Amino acid sequence: MKASEFPDPFKKYREENGIYQIEDQGEEVNLILRLRELRKCSHNSSNFSSGAAIPGRIVIPSEEKIRDIRQIPVEVDPPRHKDYRALLDFWFKRPLEDEYQKKLSVIIDDLFAEVLESENIEVVHDFSLKLQSRALTLLLNTRIDEAETWIEWGTHVFRGEEGELVSDKASLVDEYILEKIEEALSNPGQDLYSVLLQSEINGSKLTKEEVHGVMNLTFAGGRDTVINALTNMIAYFGDHPERLKWLGENPEYIGKSVEELVRYFTPLTHLGRISKDDTVVCEHAIKADSKVGLSWASANRDDTVFDNPDVVILDRKVNPHVAFGFGIHNCLGATHARQILRLVLTKLVEKVEQIEIHQFNENIETIGELKRKVGFEEITVTLHPK
């Protein structure tokens, strides 16, 4: 199979059933596969709750055994959720500012200078992991050398080499965050920890635990997702040099191309909700207190919504994808992620003539009986400069 091909394992189930049932660590999960149904459930946060009693339960696979901290705001229901978003949205929209984009541009230029000098690069570790970590220092407004520590954590903050959840890794991240919170308390600065510790909701300061919850999500949520999106984008243009050339002639399509690639790759396969009451989804009974999965990956290939969903169409006209989620819990980091992808694509078009793929090893997720490619464990390429 070509590096740039990402097959859709859900097609048959989406068309025939709308639901695919899996078991995750002993718990039954009904994955919702059709876009319209998925939107309805995401919209209905009063029945499909994110604030499960146990932190980590709404993630698939569940992270309840490896972390105790509740990720904020993704694991919180309204009305509290709204207060958190009101507080956080302004900070997480900073990537729209010129100043921010200039700094991000410098980080990306420096990395391109590094990789364009090497004969071969392994994209996951030599490019995507480094870039995700360095760019995150802008989002947190911390020193760039903090990225060195995060690079050591590897591509997923909670998972090991085989993709398995590792509680020791999760504890390491938590210890690190707690240390940074103490530092910010004793010596406040302009970084996200300090800003959050001084923030108030309804007249009360955020607690250390709340700040910890926001930081845990910031480190975990945008990690493998951004890394996979970047790597997959490079693999795509490796297989499609004519498309890279076309974008060079039509740079006004860079934004649309980012949206289309994100739809096609859908870096986060799914996220769960807990149904509060007995209900029915796609004619299937869902029991109270059971878990459903919102399958962004399947919904983004729904051919009742997208024409030719298995084909990447960089200038796709109508593209209501849900790769960044949908409804009140839409991705907090989306602005940052989009800027990274947009700037990397802009520089690829400017600086790279051809991407020669040598070898790759795919990163495959198991979902019940199904297998889904999400990215690469490794992929070695040569970037031929212009």
Q: How far is the CB of 253 from ligand EMZ (least distance, A)?
A: 28
**Nearer Cβ to ligand EMZ (59/247):** 59
CA distance 363 to 371: 10
Q: Identify the helix (H) or strand (E) that includes residue 358.
A: strand 352-367
Query: Nearer Cβ to ligand EMZ, position 78 or 163?
Result: 163
Find the shortest distance in angstroms from Cβ 248 to ligand EMZ.
33
CA dist 113 and 72 (Å) reads: 37
To ligand EMZ, the closest distance from the beta carbon of 57 in angstroms equals 11
Closer residue to ligand EMZ, CB minimum distance, 3 or 217 = 217
Query: Token digits for 207?
Result: 């607690």
Q: Closer to ligand EMZ by CB, 33 or 226: give it.
A: 226
Find tokens 């009451």 and name the residue: 277
Separation of alpha carbons 280 and 299, rounded Å: 18
Three-state secondary structure call for residue 85:
helix
At which residue do the structure tokens 């796709």 appear? 316
Which one, 164 or 356, has the nearer CB to ligand EMZ?
Answer: 164
Side-chain-facing half-sphere of 310: CA atoms under 13 Å: 7
Q: Which is nearer to ligand EMZ, 270 or 316 (CB)?
A: 270
Rounded to the nearest 10°, the torsion over CA 39, 42, 43, 46 is 150
Closest to ligand EMZ by CB, 61 vs 309, is 61
| Smallest separation (angstroms) from ligand EMZ to the CB of 262 | 14
* Chain residues in the site for ligand EMZ (CB under 6 A): 59, 63, 71, 74, 158, 217, 220-221, 224, 268, 271
| Minimum gap (Å) between residue 217 Cβ and ligand EMZ | 5
Concatenated DSSP letters for 121-145? EEIIIIIIHHHHHHHHHHHHT--TT
Least Å from the CB of residue 296 to ligand EMZ: 10
* Beta carbon of residue 344, minimum distance to ligand EMZ (angstroms, whole number): 20
Residue 5, CA distances (Å) to 1, 187, 237, 310 in order? 7, 49, 11, 9
At 91, the amino acid letter reads W
